């Protein structure tokens, strides 16, 4: 490895921070009984606040907005599936500027494929992609 000056090391550290972090494990006190205590492990979301802001901006995209308005019954885009979309974005390590319409619909299709049995909603998403 070549020697790097401090400015190059700082830029590498910033790039490392920009990548999606691994979820941290935190411990929460579940019960306390006398001298015994029971701890419960709880996971922290890997998504950063700026990722949520980028996702909310993506929801304002005209095509995405039209799709969400079309899906009034929430068959293809309920809260759980939208949460899966942002989780997929975070796990894929996408930067906030990479949150684009095509990625949204691909992740939503994948979420529907994994969780739902309704082929119609997947076909509606697929129709938007083609």
Q: Which two tokens stand for residue 84?
A: 């899966």
Instruction: Give the domain extent around 79.
Output: 6-129
| Mean pLDDT value across the chain | 77
What torsion do the CA atoms of 27, 33, 35, 38 make, to the nearest 10 degrees?
-20
Q: Could you tell me if residue 52 is inside a domain?
A: yes
State mean pLDDT over 120-129: 82
Which residue carries 């899906």 as its tokens? 71
Q: Which two tokens stand for residue 34?
A: 């006398």
Tens of pLDDT, residue by residue over 4-26, are 555 555 555 555 555 545 555 66
Q: Which two tokens stand for residue 66?
A: 């039209």
What torsion do the CA atoms of 91, 95, 98, 100 make, to the nearest 10 degrees?
60
Q: Could you tell me if residue 11 is inside a domain?
A: yes
Tens of pLDDT, residue by residue over 70-106, are 888 888 889 999 999 998 998 888 888 889 999 999 9
Q: Which residues on adjacent β-strands are paired with residue 127? A: none
Q: Could you tell me if residue 1 is inside a domain?
A: no
The pTM of the full predicted model, rounded to 2 decimals, is: 0.62
Is the per-residue pLDDT at 114 higher than 80? yes
Which residue carries 């411990």 as its tokens? 27
| Angle, CA of 8, 11 and 16, to the nearest 5° | 130
State mean pLDDT over 57-64: 93
Q: Which two tokens stand for residue 129?
A: 């992609």
Q: Could you tell me if residue 22 is inside a domain?
A: yes
Q: Could you tell me if residue 93 is inside a domain?
A: yes
d(Cα 97, Cα 124) in Å, to the nearest integer?
26
What φ, ψ does residue 78 adopt, rounded to 5°?
-75, 175
């Amino acid at each position: 490895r070549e020697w790097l000056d401090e400015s190059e090391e700082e830029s590498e550290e910033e790039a490392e921070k920009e990548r999606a972090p691994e979820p941290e494990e935190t411990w929460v006190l579940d019960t306390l009984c006398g001298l015994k205590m029971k701890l419960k492990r709880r996971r922290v979301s890997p998504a950063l606040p700026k990722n949520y802001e980028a996702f909310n901006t993506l929801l304002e995209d005209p095509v995405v907005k039209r799709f969400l308005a079309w899906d009034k019954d929430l068959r293809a885009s309920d809260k759980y599936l939208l949460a899966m979309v942002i989780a997929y974005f975070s796990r894929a390590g996408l930067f906030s500027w990479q949150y684009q319409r095509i990625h949204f619909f691909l992740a939503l299709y994948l979420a529907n494929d994994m969780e739902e049995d309704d082929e119609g909603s997947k076909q509606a998403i697929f129709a938007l992609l083609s």
